[in-house]
Amino acid sequence: MSFSFFKALRPKTPQEVAKSIKESLMALDTKTVSEVKALEKALEEVEKNFATMRTMLSGDGESEPNLDQVSQLVEEICKEDVLTLLIHKLPILGWEARKDLVHCWSILLKHKVESHSYCVEYIEQHVELLDFLVVCYDNKDIALSCGIMLRECIKFPSLGRYILESASFVLFFKFVELPNFDVASDAFSTFKDLLTKHVNVVSEFLTAHYDEFFDLYERLLTSPNYVTRRQSLKLLSDFLLESPNSQIMKRYILEVRYLKVMMTLLRDSSKNIQISAFHIFKVFVANPHKPREVKLILAKNQEKLLELLHNLSPGKGSEDEQFEEEKEFIIKEIARLSC
């Protein structure tokens, strides 16, 4: 007769994994957090459960994940409101747990069960979770993790639309200029995704919130921070020149205040900013239906603009020829204007 002193542990079922995650996250209550030893033990349990979740969702490196188990886990995580706990407990989690959560987040959102994206549908019913993730940019310890999770959410039009139309969206105009460079850069990446991932959603948003949005955006274009000016100017070109935003662009180039902003940026000390500004400025000038006020501003500043444009060069590169052709056309347009 043989005896086994070490009985192999039975792998947890998806239901058991979801339950364990929920219980370990709920153990991170106020009392636990206030007691150092209790907190350390609770966080260790969370890390262990997150590692199990990661293995179930993405495999162990030697074998692929069982898709039936993945589906069951996704369903259980939504049914038991674990998704809410995952987000609300983020500020308390340790680095290892956050790393595993970020890895699992994309899989959870993308996985479909019989054509249903359960996690996306869950967030659609609990949109306050998106607001929570946005506000987390104010916490530099978890900002980068939340940024990755937000960008995964933004890949889905319904979630991107909610963030654009939510009160928390305006916070991005602050976050992109935070003193912490890494956090500010990450916030700008999320901001960019919001304005470029789903062009039709963005077009509807800009149409409905034109004045409010461009008032705030002007502050980025005139920021004393070089990185902010350069990034926001490039992004403006990216989304303003998209075909679904053609009506927005036509409205934008009728406004003298924005023409003045571009004229100021043409005089920026940075060559990169000058070139980016030119690509928007040229649309104001090339517009065959320029308002009288726009013509007057261009005519009054004709001499300075012509001097600026004659000296403007993108340097060596494959786009030189096209740039020079466009520049010559704009110079001729300005030259024939009179007050």
Q: Distance between CA atoms of 171 and 72, rounded to whole angstroms?
A: 37
Say if 3 falls within a structural domain: no
Beta carbons within 8 Å of 100's beta carbon, 6+ residues apart: 47, 50, 51, 53, 54
Structural domain of 221: 126-253
Q: Do 143 and 165 share a domain, yes or no?
A: yes
- What does the DSSP 8-state code read for residue 10? P
In this structure, the number of other CB atoms found within 10 A of the CB of residue 9 comes to 6
pLDDT at position 339 is 60
Q: Distance between CA atoms of 170 and 238, rounded to whole angstroms?
A: 20
Q: Which residues of the chain are modeled with pLDDT < 70?
A: 1-9, 30-34, 315-319, 339
CATH of the domain at 186: 1.25.10.10
Query: In this structure, what token pair is assigned to residue 330?
Result: 């704009």
- Among 108, 125, 142, the domain boundary falls at 125
Q: Do 130 and 114 share a domain, yes or no?
A: no
Q: Do 328 and 285 share a domain, yes or no?
A: yes
What is the total count of domains within the chain? 3
In this structure, the number of other CB atoms found within 10 A of the CB of residue 337 comes to 18
pLDDT at position 304 is 95
Angle at Cα 210 formed by Cα 206 and Cα 215, nearest 5°?
A: 125
Q: Which amino acid is at 141?
A: D
pLDDT at position 259 is 98
pLDDT at position 39 is 82
Query: In this structure, what token pair is assigned to residue 1?
Result: 């007769």
- Among 84, 99, 125, the domain boundary falls at 125
The answer to whether the CB of 52 falls within 8 A of the CB of 12 is yes
Q: Do 116 and 145 share a domain, yes or no?
A: no
DSSP helix/strand/coil, 21: helix
- Among 196, 226, 253, the domain boundary falls at 253
Q: Do 71 and 170 share a domain, yes or no?
A: no
pLDDT at position 145 is 97
Q: Average pLDDT over the chain, rounded to whole?
A: 92
